[in-house]
Amino acid sequence: MGKEKNPRRVADNEAMAKLRMLRTSPQKLNLVAAMIRGKKVDKALSDLTFSKKRIAQDVKKCLQSAIANAENNHSLDVDALIVAEAWVGKNLVMKRGRPRARGRYGKIMKPFSEITITVRQVEEQA
């Protein structure tokens, strides 16, 4: 009398990975995510490896996790994978402050964000 298996959140030819609590703003993270959307995974990995953005290494780790999920959990061909979707969301914002002149208080917002990467297996066109 077990519970029924949950339906998959993505299609049969897709795999997904999510990375939460990244210490950067969603706007900066979206610049890196836009760099890899729609590319083949090997090209996306090399772009992230040589990117000058600090957060690119964390995005690379998430992409490698999505590739590993596709290979190990869903038996997809790694050479035929593309980055189907890469979307960014807001997470919590730490509020800090700094004393300013004349008794005022300067707000310092330290935002966190999250990224979700979906890879899809595509058939090669002849």
98 pLDDT above the threshold of 60: yes
124 pLDDT above the threshold of 60: yes
**pLDDT tens for each residue of 55-83:** 999 999 999 999 999 999 999 999 999 99
CB atoms within 10 A of CB 8: 11
Nearest CA to 38 out of 115, 116, 114, 119 is that of 119
Write the CB contacts of 62 (distance below 8 Å, at least 6 apart in sequence).
17, 18, 19, 115, 117
CATH assignment, 14-121: 3.90.470.10
* Assessment of whether the complete model's pTM goes beyond 0.85: yes
pLDDT, position 126? 53
- E-strand ranges in the chain read 14-22, 81-99, 105-121
Beta strand 14-22 pairing with 81-99: unpaired
CB atoms within 10 A of CB 35: 17
DSSP SS3 for 19: strand
- Radius of gyration over alpha carbons of the chain, in Å? 19
Write the CB contacts of 83 (distance below 8 Å, at least 6 apart in sequence).
36, 37, 38, 39, 40, 41, 44, 63, 117, 118, 119
